[in-house]
Structure 1
């Protein structure tokens, strides 16, 4: 089967960066309503537009990350995952307390006097959230009068659960029997859907733990992408596969609002991968992935443009915030994300080669995954 017919888009010869950027902008569009105080976000089958975009992110991430894991020892895989997600996250926390919140504080107090020592200390915003798990959203009492008060970044919470998915797949594929038969991830995916379909089990077995509650609807999408990667040689990326997959996915969501989308998660991954193959994309976007930066900076930029009176209606907020978000996303990619990944990749490449030879495992992975 030729590469163009398989679910393995070639690196730099696909539009996956564009697809992920569109998903990030869907989150921006969804949040514009609540952030401007103009009603609830658009929803479909009980889920907001932003939630569906996050589900798409997880499905694509599961596909790409599984390819990275199968082609790497656990140690180097984990280091790469940290390098991809953490520097940009940490930079966003720092930018929030050094750029966004000071502007809001100065506008509210006519100066920066007392900014660093007021309640909701800015430095605590960074320290409290260092572990990726977001415990606090306020900084120095800013945004108290905003239409969506007190929260500088309502998007960062998903990164903790995405990293949990990294750990789950990485650890499962470290088990010898899973390493030999990675398709055993398929029954794990089915189990994740069954668990979601029985929410009472969360209380029974985990005491209603919030981390389990938030992870349960996300994990099946990640694992669904993993299953697609494992079956990639058997899945042709053509319209006659992608369009029926889209139809069945929609039907599954309509059939079971609570878990139908998760049950059909591999189909969503197929649709997004097909779009990544057929959509035209500027060459610059193919080479540079702004989606992560767009995702982490959209919310604070949207809050700031409301504060400055530049985007107080949903549409105006979408337009002005999209421009500002693009600037911050580009800075994040060129100044933080890409240098961090290049540094880590160069430092562990020799170790990877040695370990691959030791275990007699080929360093085989889809080229698109190498860029993830």
Structure 2
């Protein structure tokens, strides 16, 4: 049972509900995308951002915390190996599954045959090759998905992974700087600068910086907010009253400050969510099996296939429920067949190269 801390203490890296929190965030993305995919508008919005966008912000603040801990606990080389192992194999598999399994099924459902599927750009192999570097250049596969309300888009969730990994690289570079590990003020300054850049994005785009720059600095402040939370916990521990105050206080800029309120609230949001993860218990099954990543990357293509079999006729809410069940099948398969085996292999390699007394720290960071 997870219990709330009554006084200052270190964050319990092994006794929290972050697996559950990430799964809830992934389900929120599925919820938001269901409105687009079924042709039912945008769903609930706040300051021009749907709930999926706000869920991604939650992913990034939690990721900033966890990735900073991984960087502090590992050598530079081990950190990169672990980050690549966690994000890339399952990403590559979902590209292959989408291009060579989902797309042909869609072709049969839409046309009853596969003529030209493997020769019409973007061909299935072009889809895999063009997106293999995490940066999503193609969302379509051949002539498939032309009969659905959101045509031609096989996976509208994958674009965030490029920026997620970009943030990993930033923390990897920062880890070489002694000031990053020795003072809380340096990460705070970095976060402030990132918020300032996002808040003045009109100026930067007039200088010729492109949409990729805009997206990075939309998400980077959330990630750095998690970094700030990590260094605060590392130095002063975690207190329940501060966690409650941060969780409630973060809502003020989120609701009252358009444009950059979420980014402004990022460190408080990170602190509050992390504290809450020590209070709310998670089922043992979720604690053991982290299917949130697989859920996130398979929810969209699963929804598009469901559209082709007429599941939208059930209504948007029933459609979401069916999509949750179908997505869970692929998420569990991704975890059991790809993600967990790769992580275990990486962990065994780490154990073989670190002293025995450090094995626990390595295991907690993966």
Distance in 1 between the 2:113 and 2:239 partners?
Answer: 57
1:10 touches 1:366 (CA, 8 Å); kept in 2?
Answer: no
Q: What SS does the aligned partner of 1:218 have?
A: helix
Q: What SS does the aligned partner of 1:9 have?
A: coil
Q: What does residue 230 of structure 2 align with?
A: 229
Query: Which consecutive unaligned segments of at least 5 residues does structure 2 have?
Result: none
TM norm structure 2: 0.92
Among residues 319, 322, 330, which one is paired with 2:321 in the alignment? 319
Q: What does residue 284 of structure 2 align with?
A: 283
Q: What SS does the aligned partner of 2:29 have?
A: helix
Cα offset for 1:249? 1.0
2:254 touches 2:262 (CA, 8 Å); kept in 1?
Answer: yes
Distance in 2 between the 1:91 and 1:156 partners?
Answer: 12
Distance in 2 between the 1:46 and 1:304 partners?
Answer: 28
Q: Deviations over 1:198-255 (max 9, x none)?
A: 11342255x22221111111001101101111110424342x3333212211111233
* Aligned alpha-carbon RMSD (Å): 2.2
Q: 1:351 to 1:56 in 2, by over 3 A?
A: same
Cα offset for 1:74? 1.1
Q: What does residue 177 of structure 2 align with?
A: 175
Distance in 2 between the 1:145 and 1:280 partners?
Answer: 43
Cα offset for 1:46? 2.1
Q: 1:113 to 1:204 in 2, by over 3 A?
A: closer
Q: What does residue 131 of structure 1 align with?
A: 133
Q: What does residue 186 of structure 1 align with?
A: 188
Q: What does residue 359 of structure 1 align with?
A: none
Q: 1:197 to 1:364 in 2, by over 3 A?
A: farther
Q: 1:6 to 1:142 in 2, by over 3 A?
A: farther
1:152 touches 1:299 (CA, 8 Å); kept in 2?
Answer: yes
Q: What SS does the aligned partner of 1:311 have?
A: helix
Distance in 1 between the 2:211 and 2:221 partners?
Answer: 17
Q: What does residue 252 of structure 1 align with?
A: 253
Q: What SS does the aligned partner of 1:185 have?
A: helix
Cα offset for 1:367? 6.7
Query: Which consecutive unaligned segments of at least 5 residues does structure 1 have?
Result: 357-361
Q: What does residue 8 of structure 1 align with?
A: 11
TM norm structure 1: 0.91
Q: Deviations over 1:232-281 (max 9, x none)?
A: 0424342x333321221111123321112111101111222123112221
Q: 1:125 to 1:7 in 2, by over 3 A?
A: farther
